[in-house]
Structure 1
Amino acid sequence: MKIKLAIALALGAATAAAWAGDVEDQIRFRQSAYSFLSWNTAKIKAQASDHPETYNKDEVIAAANAIAGVANSGVFEKLYGAGTDKGTGWKTSRLKPEFFEKQDEAKEFNSNFIKEANELQKVAASGDVAAIKTQFGKLGATCKGCHDLIRIRE
């Protein structure tokens, strides 16, 4: 039974690695996901915080849905393979090498990010700008915490 489990785990890891691609692909996919998140968070920030007079409920809902979609896609579990701290995707990776030693902390940040992204999706649907702004702040705190832990500042 243990041998079958080990084989299944090895095949699962190999399948995940094949799906994610080589180091450069993983970095490019990861960087693209972060760019897409940034674009969508900027839309919410502009409408809920910076310029609430431009608030458009449908746009905020769409952006929150996109953020939750990326958060729940598994992108952050699959695109941090060995060597992705040294490679170049669209630009040089900013992943700290210490990331590989801080897996438990990174997983906790990822879980919190998923939780807060899902909550933002729910709150956005309500149309309550104050609640969206508050929840957006919680989501941003998860991003900052993870960036502080594993991201090299430019």
Structure 2
Amino acid sequence: MKNKLMLALLATALTATAHAQVKTEDAIKWRQSAYATMGWSMARIKANVEGTYNKDEVIKAANVIQAIANSGMGALYVPGSDKGKGWVDTRVKPELFTDGAKVGKIAGDFNQAANELAKVAATGDAGAVKNAFGKLGGTCKSCHDDYRNK
């Protein structure tokens, strides 16, 4: 609980700092790029758990996801970035900016799942990776379901 509170406070502090420094369209581009990179990494892991398992490829992809998850991306959700265009029109719903506690919990769960996936990937245990990958995917889905326009 203490870690989640610290994550929420850190995200708030980073967001306040970023507001003065980042143009809205840049924030949207950067977060779209980060999510695209995570999506590619998720696809790499999925291909490995469903096909021929390559521990090194899974570790690389899991480490990318972990790095992005822990990069402070909350700072890229600047006011007004629920509208506008980065590479494409943003799909974030305005509710993301008003549901602070719920968004903080989802973000904390996502970070925890990303860290766990990277830890498990390092062991080379394909079954454990598949399980951790499923948990990570569940955190992604919970945010998409509530805060991403289709």
Q: Normalising by structure 2, what TM-score? A: 0.87
The amino acid that maps onto 1:44 is I
- The Cα shift of 1:16 comes to 2.2
Q: Which residue in 2 is equivalent to 1:136?
A: 133
1:78 and 2:64 correspond: no
Structure 1 stretches of 5 or more lacking a match?
Answer: 1-10
- The Cα shift of 1:103 comes to 1.6
Q: Which residue in 2 is equivalent to 1:8?
A: none
Paired residues of 2:16 and 2:75 also in contact (CA < 8 A): no
1:16 and 2:14 correspond: no
Runs of 4+ in 1 over 2 A off after TM superposition: 11-19
1:117 and 2:114 correspond: yes
Tell me the percent identity.
Answer: 51
- The Cα shift of 1:99 comes to 1.5
- The Cα shift of 1:12 comes to 7.1
- Judged with a 3 Å threshold, the aligned counterparts in structure 2 of structure 1 residues 36 and 131 are, in CA distance, closer, same or farther, namely same
- The Cα shift of 1:100 comes to 1.6
SS in 2 for 1:93: coil
Structure 2 stretches of 5 or more lacking a match?
Answer: 1-12
SS in 1 for 2:122: helix
Q: Please list, as runs of the form range in 1=range in 2, the aligned pairs for 1:1-154 lying within 5 A after superposition.
A: 15-19=17-21, 21-48=22-49, 50-51=50-51, 53=52, 55-75=53-73, 77-153=74-150
- The Cα shift of 1:14 comes to 5.8
Q: Which has the larger radius of gyration?
A: 1
